[in-house]
Amino acid sequence: MKKLIAGNWKMNGLSADAYNLSMGIINGLKQSPQLGSACDFLICPPSIHIGLVQAFFNGQDVPVELGAQDCSEVEAGARTGEISPAMLSDIECSSVILGHSERRQFHDETDELVASKAALAHKNGLVAIICVGESDAEREAGQQNAVVEKQLLASLPEGTTAANTVIAYEPVWAIGTGKTATPEDVRQMHQFIREKLQEKLEDFAQVRILYGGSVKPSNAEELFRVPNVDGALIGGASLKADDYLGIASAALDIADAA
Ligand code: PEP
């Protein structure tokens, strides 16, 4: 399976920055089209820039899909400030990140809310990228498996399949901190997630499980070599085209060597 190289731009950049970053990715992919043989590319700009970024990529003939960083759990109506899954599908987004730890932390999102959002995202043809991960204190207390199991099982709605869902394991202590989980920590957790998916889904083996947390070009290769790591969800390093594509190069090197 190709690695999914998913960039989460979070709340960064004005329109000129979105332009420069998009052009950097477009030019980089034109110079290194072979990256597309090993990777699928997804970028999730701030919602206000999605249409703009869509226009920058239009007609460029590079294999990049667009996604959003969140969506509403209701179809339409009186939800000031929110964006519905139907609106995202309408502007040709393929995916939406749900339950990111920053949504859980700053917006009190629960697993149940994430499951409702994911169900509506699926109904509207979007792939839900469902984020799970333990805090520093939870890992210190040895609770990481219990925390991730609860989040995972409660955040997956009925009708989840490998085609409509991606899991992102993002230990909260590794997000934006420069600290990365060791390959052994990642191996154990990704295997654990695969086993939990097996209890719930027929096509568990095909579900992509991404790692996220301070992924950068210098550590991507060792992370991508870990079994059950099917790509990366990238925050900080996705804001520089060279770093974003440098992470993809690591996936290509592994595919070429195989
Ligand atoms: C993220 O926010 O999903 C993330 C993994 O961020 P960073 O790569 O900056 O740690």
pLDDT tens digit sequence for 10-44: 999 999 999 999 999 999 999 999 999 999 999 99
Q: Does the predicted TM-score (pTM) go above 0.75?
A: yes
User: Which of 12, 132, 169, 170 to mutate for ligand 1's pocket (most ligand atoms within 8 Å of CB)?
Assistant: 170
Q: For residues 80-97, b (16+ Cβ closer than 10 Å) or e, as one string?
A: eeebbbbbbbeeebebbb
3 state SS of 44: strand
Among 109, 138, 170, 190, the active-site one is 170
Q: What residue's CA is closest to ligand 1, atom 2?
A: 235
The reply to whether 100 belongs to the active site is yes
pLDDT tens digit sequence for 141-155: 999 999 999 999 999
CA of 77 to the centre of ligand 1 (A): 32
Domain map (residue ranges) of the chain: 3-257
- pLDDT tier at 59 (50, 70, 90 boundaries)? very high
- pLDDT tier at 229 (50, 70, 90 boundaries)? very high
- pLDDT tier at 255 (50, 70, 90 boundaries)? confident
Read off φ and ψ for residue 195, nearest 5 degrees: -65, -40
Secondary structure of the chain: what % helix, strand, coil (to 5)? 50, 15, 35
Among the CATH numbers 3.30.420.40, 3.20.20.70, 3.40.50.620, 1.20.810.10, which is that of 3-257?
3.20.20.70
How many C-beta neighbours within 10 Å does residue 203 have?
A: 12
Q: Sort strands 231-234 and 3-8 into parallel, antiparallel or unpaired.
A: parallel
Q: Read off the pLDDT of each residue in 66-70 and give the average, rounded to a whole number.
A: 98
pLDDT tens digit sequence for 90-110: 999 999 999 999 999 999 999
Q: Read off the pLDDT of each residue in 189-211 and give the average, rounded to a whole number.
A: 97
The reply to whether 170 belongs to the active site is yes
